[in-house]
Structure 1
Amino acid sequence: MASAPPAPVFDPAVVFPEARVLRDATQAGDWPTVSAFFARFTAADERSFGVKITMDVPSAEPMLRDAIRRDRRSSLARVLLAAHLVQRAWTIRSSSRATHVSREQFAGMHEQLRHAEQLLIDITAREPSNELAWSLRITTSRGLELGQSETRRRYDRLAVHHPGFVSAQSNLLQQLCPKWGGSWETAEAFVRECTAAARPGDPQGVLVADLHLERWLDLGTQEGLKHLRQPSVHEELAAAAASSVLHPGYRSRFGWVSAHSVFAMAFSLIGDEPRAAAHFRALDGRASELPWAYLPHPVAELERRRARALAKG
């Protein structure tokens, strides 16, 4: 009898040993270890992953403010503090749709984002190629409702120096969707732009899955499933997976868990169990919080869909 699949593991510190070292150092207030750790990252998406780990540690702020006091020109400490403020802003706002967010929540969110923006403006003025600061400024622009043109301008400034920065592309994609004042036509055009510039094995294929899951969310359960199950959408998702996360030359040190999770869920919703199973097998019990958090009971849904896919695919 085949053994049951392992329980899904969402904690990146379990999946990636580097994340545990960085998180432990952040929790301990060990700035020399944190800064040395970032110095070892060589790619924009690797550094972005490090930012996500540190910004999720609520106790990081005293360490970061102390590092800034010691070195006023420490761009890393200022970026990480800005990220911490952005995280706090989104926690205040909550993940609810705008119609369900109170005036007080928006006010608290905007206060934190304005503090973050001031830090980031200074960094990008001194270091125009600082991809982490520009990526965070895409988020602050969206949260402060500065508009499509301004957010795109910030992405374009970043892309001059880091054209294949998929985390920033995913960030801008959120702004281009209708829920943040954009349109599906604009969002689709941007995804085509990113994937057309990508090489086989680059991670940009995940943007295709992100886009279609956003359509699914926006349309609601039944209409959303009709969208995903269109033959043209199904084929587009299969091609995107084949050219990115399933390609032998796939290049992403930390993004593969999220990418496989997104494709696994998309193919599961479509009912393409063989393709969903390929991604679940690659994950081998690992998972990212998104997109499963889009479902009412994320862990139970993941386990149910994984069991079905592995049994049929």
Structure 2
Amino acid sequence: MNTATGGDRPGSPGPRFDQYEHVPELVPLREAVGKADWDAVQACFATLDSAEKVSFASGLVAGTDGIEGFLRRAAARHPDAPLPRTLLADHYVRVGWGIRSRAQAEHVSREQFDRFHEWLRRAEQILIEVCAEQPAYAHAWTVRLLTARGLELGQAEARRRYDRLSRHHPHHYPAQTQLLQQLCPKWGGSWEAAHGFAQEAVAAAPDGSYSGALVAHAHLEHWLELKGAGAAVYMRDVAVRNDLRLAAQASVRHPDHRPGWYGRGAHNAFAMAFSLGGHHADAAPHFRELGDRPTEFPWHYLSAPADSFVKYRKYALAEG
């Protein structure tokens, strides 16, 4: 989804979900992928100066429709390079998850599960080799957290994979968001484990890091499971609001925070969490930072993501 109706400011085209559009540095990457030019893709990745940027860019490439053949050819041409193989595995995971869908397990057919697991097993075989050869390659371990979850390998195995990554990249935000999902009850965890991990990650991370947004993620997941009136009461709770305030002040609202590619997602998580609790003044600085730049997560949890973003932004800016 690239555009949506519902802008509430003069001249505004409305909220736009296109991640490339809001990271202009990656426009050459999109062009290289569109031309199926592996050398140009590789050159774009060579300019990235952090494991988090590699994960962000990898997600964009791997999420491109119809890219399997291109990535298979690149992996065959460069059998010792981790990037093309990890991108291919990441793409396989996304294909599999698309077959499974976002529906709750009881609404997913046996055939869907079988095909889902087949794609994840293909990805896992590639990633096992990459991680054995390049144990510090962060994105391969990050994707292996998705395969662990989808293949139902359990909490201990997911934590083992995260710990292996953390030896080299102790605050890798993309991996933290994936482990948090695993720790939620819907994947065999508990709310104590999910909220506990989020708080531990914030405490351990440097001031101004993205890790504080994990607190918002955990509360949004908790809200999603509760549903109905109980969900609204939960998000309005003063303790939840205070949790969110402290986490925001430790991360994207900290003086040491430096805007980066995951910042948009972090601000969106805080904006939606505060908004659902009716804490519109707290949501306002996040919406001001965002402008017309929502992210699919977490707004896809609502029935009309773009319209909901606009509605809550209007409430927030009126109060804050």
State the TM-score, normalized to the length of structure 1: 0.97
Report Cα offsets for 1:65-121 as digits up to 9, x if no partner: 112222211211100000110110100000111111110110010000000000000
- Opposite residue 281 of structure 1, the aligned amino acid is R
Matched, 1:78 2:85: yes
Q: Corresponding residue for 2:58?
A: 51
Q: Corresponding residue for 1:142?
A: 149
Which one of the candidate residues 157, 162, 172 is aligned to 1:155? 162
Q: Corresponding residue for 2:109?
A: 102
- Opposite residue 177 of structure 2, the aligned amino acid is S
> Helix, strand or coil for the counterpart of 2:167?
helix
Q: Tell me if the contact between 2:216 and 2:269 (Cα under 8 Å) persists in the aligned partners.
A: yes
Q: Tell me if the contact between 1:27 and 1:57 (Cα under 8 Å) persists in the aligned partners.
A: no
Q: Give the distance between the partners of 2:216 and 2:167, measured in 1 at CA.
A: 25
Distance 1:108 1:252, change over 3 A: farther
> Helix, strand or coil for the counterpart of 1:58?
coil
Matched, 1:262 2:269: yes
Q: Corresponding residue for 1:92?
A: 99
Report Cα offsets for 1:135-192 as digits up to 9, x if no partner: 1111101000011111111111110110010110110000000000101111122112
Unaligned stretches of 5+ in structure 1? Answer: none
Q: Corresponding residue for 1:295?
A: 302
Q: CA deviation at 1:312?
A: 2.4
Matches within 5 A, 1:220-259: 220-259=227-266
Q: Give the distance between the partners of 1:197 and 1:104, measured in 2 at CA.
A: 42
Q: Tell me if the contact between 1:12 and 1:19 (Cα under 8 Å) persists in the aligned partners.
A: no
Report Cα offsets for 1:215-261 as digits up to 9, x if no partner: 00010032112112111111110111111111122145201111111
Unaligned stretches of 5+ in structure 2? Answer: 1-7
- Opposite residue 160 of structure 2, the aligned amino acid is R
Matched, 1:38 2:41: no
Q: Give the distance between the partners of 1:221 and 1:31, measured in 2 at CA.
A: 48
Which one of the candidate residues 108, 113, 122 is aligned to 1:115? 122
Report Cα offsets for 1:186-219 as digits up to 9, x if no partner: 1122112211101211111100000000000010
Give the number of equivalent residue pairs.
312
Q: Tell me if the contact between 1:135 and 1:168 (Cα under 8 Å) persists in the aligned partners.
A: yes
Q: Corresponding residue for 1:170?
A: 177
Q: Tell me if the contact between 2:90 and 2:143 (Cα under 8 Å) persists in the aligned partners.
A: yes
State the TM-score, normalized to the length of structure 2: 0.94
Aligned-residue Cα RMSD (Å) equals: 1.3
Q: Corresponding residue for 1:132?
A: 139
Matches within 5 A, 1:262-281: 262-281=269-288
Q: Give the distance between the partners of 1:310 and 1:192, measured in 2 at CA.
A: 29
Q: Tell me if the contact between 1:244 and 1:250 (Cα under 8 Å) persists in the aligned partners.
A: yes
> Helix, strand or coil for the counterpart of 2:294?
coil
Q: Tell me if the contact between 2:202 and 2:250 (Cα under 8 Å) persists in the aligned partners.
A: no
Q: CA deviation at 1:3?
A: 4.7
Q: CA deviation at 1:4?
A: 3.7
Matched, 1:200 2:207: yes
- Opposite residue 187 of structure 1, the aligned amino acid is A
Q: Give the distance between the partners of 1:131 and 1:36, measured in 2 at CA.
A: 19
Distance 1:181 1:62, change over 3 A: same
